[in-house]
Structure 1
């Protein structure tokens, strides 16, 4: 059964959607970016419906300033209280005994940073956001991956010879790749890794193989990952969605 619930958070009111089920391990879905709880292409709503049919209760919610929820949108780095309030409400409403949380993009990063203090038992992080840049180019790791793929294609060499390549864009990309990529101690990537190490939470990392955000994360991560052969950041293709559901269901059952 699906129902809308509301709960308090730091003086504001958050709205969530609870898909009830018989299981005692629940899944909390945290939305990425400024997406409302339904998710891109209704992906999170459909995922919740499918998992609930498998016996897994699921809660999705809008953080402060997003969708139906009141308050000011402070971005994912201010979402710790929202995640904590949603986790506590979910446990009380659904009577669950263990809590798994899933997030994509900056929601994954938020869970890495705040999940342990929210009382979450296991994390599922998809395409964690670690990009900090001042230009509109893709991250250096993604540029390198793209160029490496193109160098293997004879038709790309032919395009270059015929003048079909934007040389100014190519030069900008090469210049970015050539810049030193030293990781600062206070960088988002460093903070994410440090938070996961300190919390010692069981964590599953899911990556879209040809997504720029995932490529940037993968460059600085030496732990195990599960890779989906897709370029869709939100796992929007039908086969991607099926893969994502199986990965999440497996992680929940292990929790």
Structure 2
């Protein structure tokens, strides 16, 4: 059964949803960007219902200044108190629960890493945001890393259909030249105090088990792979061949299956 509830965070009242279930391991969903707790196309609400049906309680919330919550929206870098308050509210609302795993996509994934330590028993980090600046402030999607562009063009050059589209003039040359120009640009060095460097450092210091989920065709995931190589060597990574940043459509089945597998891990229940 789903309940709507609220909890306090630094003087503001935050809105939340709890999908009840009997298992002792629950999932906290942290929303990314300025997304409300139901998620894009209600994706997180549907994910919560599925996980609860499988036996796991799920807690979602709107951080300060988002959706039905009071307060000022300070972005993901100031959301540590929101997440900590949500963890406490989740435990209070589901007293039989003994373990909490948190899931976040995009800058919510980055927030879960940056605001450690948190009272969590595990982390599921999807397509972490590594560009300096908030995800919602980007007017145009960032280009993929040069390595991803090279791989994409090489694949297209091998595809007769792509060559036929080029001959017929069906290719958007503005996008083509933008992509080719990116290949010439030198890869900027990661700033030692930049977001990517801080995420690498946060992964190195994690006290709870974590899993990274990546949609390999997603630009944000591609940038994470290029910007945070150390993180990839420290944490198990599972990849889905998809361009969907939010695991939309059928990709949602893969996401739910991976989360369920992690929630049911014997090591987490030890």
Q: Same fold (TM over 0.5)?
A: yes
Superposed, which structure 2 residues align to 1:31-42 within 5 Å?
Answer: 31-42=31-42
- Following superposition, the deviation at residue 179 of structure 1 comes to 2.2
Name the TM-score, length of structure 1 as normaliser. 0.91
The change in CA–CA distance for 1:14 and 1:176 in structure 2 (over 3 A counts) is same
**Is 1:193 matched with 2:205?**
no
Root mean square deviation of aligned Cα: 2.0
Match of 2:220 in 1: 213
Aligned length: 253
- Following superposition, the deviation at residue 132 of structure 1 comes to 3.9
Q: Give, in whole Å, the separation in 2 of the partners of 1:117 and 1:185.
A: 21
Superposed, which structure 2 residues align to 1:70-85 within 5 Å?
Answer: 70-85=70-85
The change in CA–CA distance for 1:168 and 1:52 in structure 2 (over 3 A counts) is closer
Match of 1:175 in 2: 181
Moved over 6 A (4+): none
Q: Give, in whole Å, the separation in 2 of the partners of 1:168 and 1:231.
A: 21
Name the TM-score, length of structure 2 as normaliser. 0.86
SS at match of 1:245: helix
The change in CA–CA distance for 1:144 and 1:13 in structure 2 (over 3 A counts) is farther
Is the deviation greater in 29-38 or in 191-200? 191-200
SS at match of 2:200: helix
- Following superposition, the deviation at residue 173 of structure 1 comes to 2.2
Superposed, which structure 2 residues align to 1:6-85 within 5 Å?
Answer: 6-85=6-85
**Is 1:138 matched with 2:150?**
no
Q: Give, in whole Å, the separation in 2 of the partners of 1:178 and 1:112.
A: 33
Superposed, which structure 2 residues align to 1:83-94 within 5 Å?
Answer: 83-94=83-94
Match of 1:252 in 2: 263
Q: Which runs of no fewer than 5 residues in structure 1 stay unpaired?
A: none
Q: Which runs of no fewer than 5 residues in structure 2 stay unpaired?
A: none
Q: Give, in whole Å, the separation in 1 of the partners of 2:4 and 2:182.
A: 47
Contact 1:13 1:69 in 2 (8 A): yes
SS at match of 1:43: helix
Partner residue of 2:160 out of 154, 160, 166: 154
Contact 1:66 1:73 in 2 (8 A): yes
Match of 1:241 in 2: 252
Contact 1:205 1:225 in 2 (8 A): yes
Q: Give, in whole Å, the separation in 2 of the partners of 1:46 and 1:168.
A: 38
